[in-house]
Each structure stands twice: as C-alpha cells, then as structure tokens.
Amino acid sequence: MSKPKVAFFDFTCCEGCQLDTLNIDGEALVELLDAVDIVEFREVMSDKAGDVDIAFVEGSITRESEIPRLKKIRERAKIVIALGACAHIGGINCLKNHLAMEDAQRIVYGEDAEKYDTIPTRPIGAVVPVDYVVPGCPINTAELLRTIKELLLGKTPELPNYPVCVECKMAGNICVFELGMTCLGPVTRAGCNAICVSAGRHCWGCRGLVDDPNLNAQKDVLEKYGLSVEEVLEKFKIYNTCTTEGIK
C-alpha cells in the first residue's frame, strides 16, 4: 500500500502502550515516520484526521459512553488493531468485573452510586470487529513494528501460537517452577521473548492464552506445585478474566 494513514486512539488505559510506541529507537522512529503517515495521536499531536488506513486502539471499554466513540473509529478505519492487553483481552481493568457492579460502585461511590456509569470491562473486540492484535502489557514494540512492516508488505500479521515456555527455553532461562515459583507461561501466548522470566520474575499471562490452551492441565500443574484451587483462579484473574470466560 502507499504510505498508509495511521492513527492512535485510547480508551480506559494507562497509555503505556502508546508511550512505548514513542520510545522505539530514534532512528527506527524516523524510519517509521517515513514509512507511514501518523495523522492522529492525541497524546503527542494536536492534529485530527478523517478516515484512516490503520487505527491502533489502546484501552478497554468500561463505560457506556465509550462505545459510540469506538464504533466511530471502526467506521473511519480500514484496519483496526488492538494495541495492548486492555484492548486485546480487557487487561488489568477486568479485575473490577469480579466485584458485582453494585458492590464496586457502592464501595467507590457511596450514595451516588447510581449516578455513575460503569459497565463490566470488555476488550474492544467485544464491541467492534478487530482485524489484528499487538498483545501484551505493555506491548513488545518489536512486534508492533513487525505488524506494520507485514501490513506494508501485504502479508497477514500472525502471532505465535505456542506458549511462553518456548521463548523461555530459547533465552536459556531456568524454569521458575524449578526455583519455587509458579507461572502462567505454559498457557500464555509467546511473542514477548519471555521478558518477565528473563528479568527474574514469572509470567502473569498478560498476552492472553494460546489458541487451544490446556487450562485443566495448567490448573493441575499449579496445584501440584502448591497452589490451592482459589489461588490458581486468582492467578488467572489478573489478565485473563475475559479470556477464561470466553469473552473475546
């Protein structure tokens, strides 16, 4: 495609994914600006645009009022790409779904609860059709760049369909289960180069699950390594509330 028009939008999020996009290596950023036309990016630009070729959307939907805005973006864009875990699978924001809505509002709003507009957190894919995804909390900017390059070449961007364990082994890590920790790597989609394990921690599952995760086996494994059933479910709650409920 000729220089495509690219725009960035956000909903309920921490804006970290957009920020990291700006943090790609200086030379690469200049090259990126040569390859695409960034026409709207509220956090760093005052410009606004009409129709765009590629819309990156960060953030999840947590209020009724966000829905029309998202639909408008879908209308304006040829391709919509979910940017980051919040847009992809709901992200951290899904933790609020576990409190019954009434309880959440009451805890937080007191007697004005009913004046407040909040709905269970949803990924953007639950509201509009989404073409591609750059997962993670935050994203792996290399994956973002690769997605853009592939679209420029007319390829279909694809994500790996194997778990983080593969990348952990490639990185030469010692499996954290052998070091007394527990980890969601075996059912979490790779593409992050096992960054969290390589940095000394474990995988929290922020990139969502592989296509056909063996969740029962993973639960068995976690229980084998000392977690109770409740603790296992708590682990999945942090990012994978929506995915384990089958909400896409």
Partner 1 sequence: MPEHSVLVVDDEPIVRESIRDWLTEAGYGVATAETGEQALEMVKTQDFSVLVVDLRLPGKTGLAVLEAIKAERPWIKSIVITAYPSSETAQEAKRLGAVDYLLKPFAPDDLERLIDDTLAAIPPEATVTTVEKAPAEAPVAEAIAVRETFAIDKKDLQSLYDGLAASAEVLGPKAKKGKFVFDRIKRFEELCLDYDVTVHPPANCLRPPHETLLTMKLGDVSAGEPVLDASPRVLFGVHPYDIKAIELLDEVFMTAHPDPHYITRRQNTVIIGVDCLHPSANSFASSMGTHQTETGFDLLLTDIGSAVMVTIGSERGAQLLAEYTGAREPTDYEIATQKTLRDAAVEDYKLHLDVARERLPKLLEDHYDDPYWEEKSENCLSCGSCIMVCPTCFCFDVKDEVSLDLKGAVRVRQWDGCMLSDFAKVAGGENFRHGKAARFRHRIFRKGKYVLERYGMVGCVGCGRCISACLPDIASPVEAFNAIAQRAKAESARRLISKVTPQPDLYAPQPAKLVRVEALAENEKVFEFRFDNGDSLGHRPGQFVEVSLAGIGEAPISISSSPTREGSFELAIRNVGNVTRALHALDEGAQVGVRGPFGNGFPIEALEWKDLLLVAGGIGLFPLRSLVQYVLDRRDRFGRVVLLCGSRSPKERMFTDELSEWKEDPGVEFHETVDGGDASWKGNVGVITTLIPGIDLSPAKTMAVVVGPPIMYRFVIGELKKKGLADEQIVMSLERRMKCGVGKCGHCQINGVYVCQEGPVFTLAQLRNLREAV
Partner 2 sequence: MSSIHINVHHVTRVEGHGNIVLNSQNGKIEELRWEVPESPRFFEAMLRGRHYNDVPHIASRICGICSISHSTASILATEAALGIEVSEQTTLLRRLLFNAEVLESHVLHAYCLAAPDFLGVKSVFPLVKTHKDVVLRAMRLKRLAYRLAEILAGRKTHPISLMVGGFAKLPEPEQLVALRDALAESLTDYDATVELFASLTLPDFERQTEYIALQDEDDYAFISGKIASSDSGTAPVSHYLEVTNEFCVPHSTAKYTKNNRDAYMVGALARFNLNHTQLHPRAKDAAGTLRLRAPCHNPYMITIAQIVECVHATEDSILLIEKLLDRGLEEESIPSEITAGRGIGAVEAPRGILFHDYTYDENGILTAANCVIPTNQNHNNIQKDMEALVPTILDRSEDEIRLALEMLVRAYDPCISCSAHLLRVSFTNDASTGNDPQKS
Q: List residues near partner 1 by CB under 8 A.
A: 28, 31-32, 34-35, 145-146, 148-149, 152-153, 161-163, 165-166, 169-172, 174-175, 177-179, 185-187, 210-214, 216-218, 220-221, 224
Phi, psi of 103 (to 5 degrees): -60, -45
Q: Which does 211 bind (CB under 5 to 8 A by kind): partner 2, partner 1, none?
A: partner 1
Q: Is 71 in the site for partner 2 (CB under 8 A)?
A: no
Assess contact for 131 and 74: CB atoms under 8 A.
no
Q: Is 178 in the site for partner 2 (CB under 8 A)?
A: no
Q: Is 229 in the site for partner 2 (CB under 8 A)?
A: no
Q: Is 200 in the site for partner 2 (CB under 8 A)?
A: yes
- Nearest to partner 1 of 153, 199 (CB atom): 153
Shortest reach from residue 248's CB to partner 2, in Å = 21
Assess contact for 188 and 203: CB atoms under 8 A.
yes
In 3D, which of 198, 141, 144, 205 has the Cα closest to residue 167? Answer: 198
- For 12-39, give the DSSP string: BS-SHHHHHHHTS-HHHHHHHHHHSEEE
The dihedral over CA atoms of 244, 57, 85, 246, expressed in degrees to the nearest 10, equals 0
Shortest reach from residue 191's CB to partner 2, in Å = 15
- Nearest to partner 1 of 77, 203 (CB atom): 203
Q: What span, in angstroms and rounded, lies between the C-alpha atoms of 23 and 21? A: 5
Where are the strands (E) in 90-176, listed by range?
A: 132-134
Tokens, residue 29: 């950023």
Q: What span, in angstroms and rounded, lies between the C-alpha atoms of 198 and 83? A: 23
Q: Is 76 in the site for partner 2 (CB under 8 A)?
A: no
| Residue written as token pair 């089958």 | 246
- Nearest to partner 2 of 161, 228 (CB atom): 228
- For 180-215, give the DSSP string: T---SGGGBB--STTHHHHTTS----TT-B-SS--H
- Nearest to partner 1 of 123, 208 (CB atom): 208
Q: What span, in angstroms and rounded, lies between the C-alpha atoms of 99 and 90? A: 15
Shortest reach from residue 188's CB to partner 2, in Å = 15
- Nearest to partner 1 of 81, 210 (CB atom): 210
Which one of residues 1, 45, 100, 217 is an interface residue with partner 2 (CB under 8 A)? 45
User: Interface with partner 2 by CB under 8 A: which residues?
Assistant: 11-20, 22-23, 25-26, 29-30, 33, 38, 41-47, 62-63, 65-66, 69, 91-93, 95-96, 99, 104, 107-112, 115-118, 137-138, 195-196, 198-201, 204, 234, 238
